[in-house]
Structure 1
């Protein structure tokens, strides 16, 4: 059977819209990530999964250790859910700074959470905020220092994400000294995210020249980062022993794992195979997360109108943030209408074969944001559903 026939058969008893995760594709993607990581353990970026069952699944596979959470509340939730399970000791790194006073108080009051959760700091202001939430006599909070991994080839030129202000060994060592001398803090890790490599494809379909420029930029940026990060890690280790040095993302595993100063890498999107990761030279993930929309209108020849579908990804506004019609092959969105909140027209020769109630399968541009649209994922293998599991939204939690 074709992939579309398998999907349609597996979900024939369900009404669309619905979302599935193809377990064969998910598992194959996990295996590929481990191979690309070259022996470095992979910390799973939960933001790209947002389904506790799938997090458990991948953490049970060789090569995956720990979770990179996207909020302190999420890390507390996972620590609580896993407290009396084999995942109780899972290391949870909150990869974005928190200003959530209530969550900090919950952390400080939970001895188990204090052992497994680390939070980010890139300035003493983050330490001051924790003290303001908890008082200065709080128990030790695990701290991960974040290094800016962007590329700055010329004065005033910034290529990459706007994250930490810490760039040099001297700046990092100064902050590390401030952390270790402050009561109530323990410096345990260092992380950096090279977004200009990990999250930017160097082989975008139909844009050969742009891809070549991106590829050149990533090569230069990677060389600079490996040298600078190694120096920063050495400077920080002179101040405090580090349990982990984390780097990278799905798009940069080869580069990051080649850096001798890095002890682990991060990845999440590569498990789900979203549209934005189609444009890389080094790897091609399998589309694992898909959603189906029903045909509700046939307004003209070669046009079928689907219900809902306006699941636009975060980031800079552009066509690459729209969902991608996947099956049947040969469909595309209308340029003047795109994907809408209540209807999404698609066009192409295959549209003429579609009847009311038929399904069109689409891919989200990004990995985790699809879970904010659906309460459950149907986990399919071949032409059957193995089980149905809740997303974060289905469990009644939202950490955005």
Structure 2
């Protein structure tokens, strides 16, 4: 939960003279979030999830904050190539790919002093990588993605990701990799999305919170047992793993406590989008936000902003809307939400003390971390109460990875 006072009133002064819409990153709050990540990770290394950040300069900044921030997890093969080209030497592709052209590009980095590791959970992915590796004279490092979802009370608790669930299935793919001169097994990932990505402290949802926490406890035991069995079986068959990866912002403490895991992943924690306000035990601060200008006032207490339709991905719902946070007490209109071109924000007629004019700004937080930087070319960076400059986002670099 947010513990710090809102800094948005200061942002208006720090960003005076700039043109909105704009996005802002507070490095003091980001650093506090980074310390919370390290605390919850115990003594284990933390791999940074790039999809939640999408800015080269922010990735470099976070990487320098502690020697325990080791490596990146990216979401696109073309992104992996771009990050390797930018100088990052340990890049894990977090999702499988069937993009032959991208694999040909990545083959360049498999023969250099880079660790670009592909993700796989099926034979077809391995066969394509093997074919490209043979053509390019490369040997691809592979990480096997093992499903960590649970079946509880007839409910699929988790997400539909990898088809790899059992020891036997995992060993079969590992053996295929061992027999191929173009592939080598480097790691295993078991991402427990139902632990990392499901809030369990949502205001006004006491019964659902209780149910989710119960499901998490039941699922947690299953996750640890299955992940441990798979890692032990691979070791018994002579497979040497450089890493066993797991976790996300919402499950850092749980995953770090698993003896079979050698590193955890975090991304959203550094920006702390609005969805992560409702996780038990997390002490994070709102480091990233964006401002929209008021362009008209259709009625007293309603201020219509330009833009704002930055709705987060995932299951559709009001929790995926951006949240107006400064001035306080603003709400989105239920019949309009956040619009592609305009977003009306309503304030109570009495009690809020808010009186805005056209040209004034309303500050928002995005529901999820990753898509924020897809909307802006740059982040206005604040540290020590002073705006110190701008950092490019992927969009500002001209990058679009889908």
Normalising by the residue count of structure 2, what TM-score does the alignment of the two structures yield? 0.94
Helix, strand or coil: the match of 2:244? strand
Question: In the alignment, which residue of structure 1 is the partner of 2:236?
Answer: 238
Match of 1:10 in 2: 14
Q: 2:378 maps to which residue?
A: 376
Task: Tell me the equivalent position of 1:53.
Answer: 57
Q: C-alpha displacement at 1:145, in angstroms? A: 0.6
Give 1:135 deviation, angstroms. Answer: 4.4
* Selected match of 1:202 from 180, 200, 203: 200
* Runs of at least 5 residues in structure 2 that lack an aligned partner in the other structure: none
Shift of 1:183: 2.1
**Equivalent residue, structure 2, for 1:328:** 327
* Partner-residue secondary structure (3-state), 1:158: strand
* Contact 1:136/1:184 (8 A) holds in 2: no
Question: Structure 1 residue 262: deviation in Å?
Answer: 0.1
Offset at residue 192 of structure 1 (A)? 1.2
Task: Report if the CA contact (8 A) 1:198-1:252 is conserved.
Answer: yes
Any idea what SS the aligned residue of 1:109 has? helix
Q: Quote how far apart the aligned CAs of 1:228 are.
A: 1.0
For the 8 Å contact 1:114–1:140, the answer to whether it is kept is: no
Quick one: which of 202, 218, 222 aligns to 2:220? 222
Deviation at 1:110, TM superposition (A): 3.6
Count how many residue pairs are aligned between Structure 1 and Structure 2.
393
Deviation of 1:220 (Å): 0.8
1:386 equivalent to 2:391? Answer: no
User: Pick from 63, 68, 72: which aligns with 1:67?
Assistant: 72
**Does residue 261 of structure 1 match 2:260?**
yes
Structure 1 distance, partners of 2:396, 2:136, is 38
Aligned 8 A contact 1:304 1:351 in 2: no
> How many Å separate the matches in 1 of 2:362 and 2:134?
55
Structure-1 residue corresponding to 2:361: 359
Distance in 1 between the 2:80 and 2:98 partners? 14
Q: CA deviation at 1:112?
A: 5.2
Distance (whole Å) between structure 2 residues aligned to residue 133 and residue 178 of structure 1: 16
Tell me how far 1:127 sits from its aligned partner.
1.1
Residues 349-368 of structure 1: CA distance to partner in whole angstroms, max 9, x if unpaired?
34841111111100000001
Q: Is the 8 A contact 2:188 2:244 kept in 1?
A: yes
Query: Counterpart of 1:80?
Result: 85
Gapped runs of 5+ residues in structure 1? none
Residue 272 of structure 1 pairs with residue 238 of structure 2: no
Q: How far apart are 1:115 and its partner, in Å?
A: 3.5
1:22–1:112 Cα change, 3 Å:
farther
Q: 1:42 aligned to 2:40?
A: no
Judging changes above 3 Å, is the alpha-carbon distance between structure 1 residues 135 and 328 closer, same or farther for their aligned structure 2 residues?
A: same
Of 368-377 and 298-307, more deviation after overlay is shown by 298-307
Which residue in 2 is equivalent to 1:161?
159
Task: Work out the CA distance in 2 between the residues paired with 1:132 and 1:288.
Answer: 44
* Gap change, CA 1:113 and 1:378, over 3 Å in 2: farther
CA contact under 8 A between 1:188 and 1:242: conserved in structure 2? yes
Judge which range, 17-26 or 379-388, deviates more. Answer: 379-388
Over aligned residues, Cα RMSD in angstroms?
A: 1.6
